[in-house]
Structure 1
């Protein structure tokens, strides 16, 4: 794969993952924990695709085939990092909303 194609695929997968993470938080806020879990699973799937591309880059470099590091590829890696962080935060938000709902159901919080 050429740099530009790799970069844009990473950006696409990372962006999709981040969007699904945000949708998971919104679903949890609306107390739809089934949907939140579905969105988190989709976020994870998109991250797996991005990690596969990243692993391919690392393999290529390890084989002594050096790639040019251009601004777009660096930008793509930033997107991947942010998507990873967003997925982890979304998981925490979903858990917090779920715990709050459980407390409300038990009569502990209004």
Structure 2
């Protein structure tokens, strides 16, 4: 996903209005190396099986019930369509294609995310 040297747009401030149960998601800044639970660095180019991807909800249609603009969501990258707006690439999803929405904090005080 190219950024063209421009600052990333703010969620909800795009020249588009989503319809029905559709979500506009950005994965910019989500790709890259990650760490395993044991602290081992796993490069972004590592070959793994079918892996879900995190993205940021930028806009939602009027029938979306669970996700909100600004939520970090988990989805299958194989079940998506892409669109370019203002020189940036975004992903179009249906709400039913989401697997999870990240929580701010758990009862233990952490986010609970280990990816």
TM-score for the superposition, normalised by structure 1: 0.25
Structure exhibiting the larger radius of gyration computed from Cα positions: 1
Q: Which has the higher strand share?
A: 2
TM-score between both structures, scaled by the size of structure 2: 0.24
